[in-house]
Amino acid sequence: MSALQVSWPPGTECVAKYNFQGSTELDLSFCKGDLLTIIGVTKDPNWYKAKNSVGREGMIPANYVQKREGVKSGGKLSLMPWFHGKITREQAERLLYPPETGLFLVRESTNYPGDYTLCVSCDGKVEHYRIIYHSGRLSIDEEEYFDNLMQLVEHYTKDADGLCTRLIKPKLMEGTVAAQDEFSRSGWAMNMKDLKLKHTIGKGEFGDVMVGEYRGTKVAVKCIKHDATAQAFLAEASVMTQMRHTNLVQLLGVIVEERGSLFIVTEYMAKGSLVDYLRSRGRTVLGGECLLKFSLDVCEAMEYLEANNFVHRDLAARNVLVSDDNIAKVSDFGLTKEASSTQDTAKLPVKWTSPEALREKKFSTKSDVWSYGVLLWEIYSFGRVPYPRIPLKEVVPRVEKGYKMEAPDGCPVVVYDLMKQCWTLDPAGRPSFRLLREKLQHIRAKDLQL
């Protein structure tokens, strides 16, 4: 690292590129892949003071570590950057020009709809191999079968196995970036061999959430096995690389497997989801101070998203997790997008979603504020399902006529007033998360004086 390089401020996260064995007791030894946080700069630009994941501190050489950066190309990240979709045989041949043996791409078959074609440059010409789709599996020679295109491509990069050449270099579709390369470049790629998966703690339609261990640290791992679904979750992972807040579940890294699986590794939240936590403890265990703290924790995370122009879109107590030391953290960035975009509303949670988001697909920080009001109601009702005793199909019509849920038993009037402000039908009339946070802090300060 040259003296001209800009020094990284304290709090910068970095990942070790090499092993480092310290030569004095002031040094902090580490292994390749370890996560480190800069805690101080020194007069010597070649050294930083840093701490590791267990809090040990010491000096580290700057050229042994790589700064972690947010992955910015969310929409262009691809698990299959060599897949060009519907292009003709002639277009494929033009893309593979000038000829370079082993240069390849995959396209949809023009002659056999539903099948694919592997196009490979070899000895100055392009060979086209039909990939047959049979009983849910893919094959070129009907001897070797694969679950998806990624597995097929991985196989033929290792061995020509009857093709004119081994697949050597992918022809990337214009505008796409190989996901593995991007996560590696920005310091977020983890190594599968360092991850031990233990047991399942949650099942979803997209895959399992498991408890694991990464280099001795307990972690949670979202395992997405199907290649198309994994592709969709790349956006979630790339959003998480840009987000840093005490009250957001922290991404630790991403593993992109060649065989089409994606593993999103996050900090482990020992006490599970907020909704389960509230239901299992109840009002005999959790006092008003605790409920107010959870409300503030979530509000501070949402204020951070608001300031960074991100919309969560699925804020609810089920998507807030509780740490071992009782800190509530917002999770599940699956739907998070840059502000003011639209999406398919078919799968939206009706009871948590604002009227304008349901009706016109208009998502904004203000629609998150509506959801936050519902989440406050969940907190103060100890995890009850919102709109009790109202059939689901009646919820929207009644809400659009101005209906608001009643205050949960024992909920302070000042907190219920905040809920009602969040449920203002006109989005412009709803408070900002910053204002909500200020009001909650004011309520908390008054409670502490009593």
The CA distance from 116 to 133, in Å, is 8
Among all chains, which residue has been given the structure tokens 């009339």? 429
Q: Which residues contact 177 (CB under 8 A, 6 or more apart)?
A: 73, 76, 77, 78, 81
Within 10 angstroms of residue 159's Cβ, the number of other Cβ atoms is 11
In terms of DSSP bridges, do strands 177-178 and 77-78 run parallel, antiparallel, or are they unpaired? parallel
Q: Is 404 annotated as a binding residue?
A: no
Q: Which residues contact 397 (CB under 8 A, 6 or more apart)?
A: none
Cα distances (angstroms) measured from residue 182 to each of 44, 63, 91, 177: 31, 20, 27, 7
Residue 227 a catalytic site member: no
The catalytic position among 34, 227, 297, 314 is 314
The CA distance from 417 to 383, in Å, is 19
In terms of DSSP bridges, do strands 169-170 and 177-178 run parallel, antiparallel, or are they unpaired? unpaired
Within 10 angstroms of residue 245's Cβ, the number of other Cβ atoms is 17
The CA distance from 417 to 298, in Å, is 18
321 membership: H or E segment, kind and range: strand 320-322
Q: Using alpha carbons, select from 328, 320, 317 the residue that is nearest to residue 290.
A: 328
Buried b (16+ CB within 10 A) or exposed e, 334-370: bbbbeeeeeeeeeebbebbbbbbbbeeebbbbbbbbb
What would the two tokens of residue 299 be? Answer: 């509000």
Q: Which residues contact 296 (CB under 8 A, 6 or more apart)?
A: 437, 440, 441, 444
Residue 224 burial (10 A CB sphere; 0-12, 13-18, 19+): buried
What would the two tokens of residue 279 be? Answer: 């239901």
The residue type found at 239 is V
Active site residues: 314
Known binding-site positions for ATP: 222
